[in-house]
Amino acid sequence: MSEYIPSTSKWVADHVERYEGSGGTEGTTLRETGLAVIIVTNRGRKTGAIRKTPLMRVVDGENYILIASQGGAPKHPLWYHNLKADPNVEIRDKTEVTPMRVREVDDEAERERLWAIAVEAFPPYQDYKEKTERVIPIFVAEPR
């Protein structure tokens, strides 16, 4: 088993520790927003280490929608590159942990449909889209 390397962002590392340390009974929302988050576990493309990222909980049936917004920053988040290199992930949604495989969504109609679901779940995504010139990547995580 590979080593787990926590995020260099203290609040992210603390959030993951609280979520996972409680077995998914605490830390299941984004700070004070009350909006649900999941933990995406993946492998680092350079280190091979285990990485864990809290993302907004956006669902489409049994699939999860992962939005690589990074708050509208000009560059993709690091986890985007990890998922492109190795699409096998685990998603923790509260107490449930599910092995999944991600795919980046290229089809414009599918992107639009999933984007609408994501913005409904987390309205700031729309602000992030308007703030950046890059196309914000969308992944679908499907059960393996």
Where are the chain's structural domains?
A: 10-143
Asked if residue 98 has pLDDT above 70, the reply is: yes
Question: What's this model's pTM, rounded to 2 decimal places?
Answer: 0.95
Tokens of 100: 């999944």
Right CATH number for 10-143 from 2.30.110.10, 3.40.640.10, 2.102.10.10, 2.30.29.30? 2.30.110.10
Query: How do residues 41-53 score in pLDDT, each as one tens digit?
Result: 999 999 999 999 9
The chain-wide mean pLDDT, for the chain, equals 96
Asked if residue 1 has pLDDT above 80, the reply is: no
Asked if residue 74 has pLDDT above 70, the reply is: yes
Asked if residue 33 has pLDDT above 90, the reply is: no
50-56 and 88-93 beta bridge pairing: unpaired
Average pLDDT over residues 108-123: 97
Amino acid, single-letter form, for residue 66: L
Exposed e or buried b per residue across 95-134, where buried means at least 16 C-beta atoms within 10 angstroms of its C-beta: eeebebebeebeeeeebeebbeebbebbebbeebbeebee
Largest Cα–Cα distance in the chain? 41
The CA distance from 95 to 88, in Å, is 20
Instruction: State the burial class of residue 144 (Cβ atoms within 10 Å of its Cβ: 0-12, 13-18, 19+).
Output: exposed
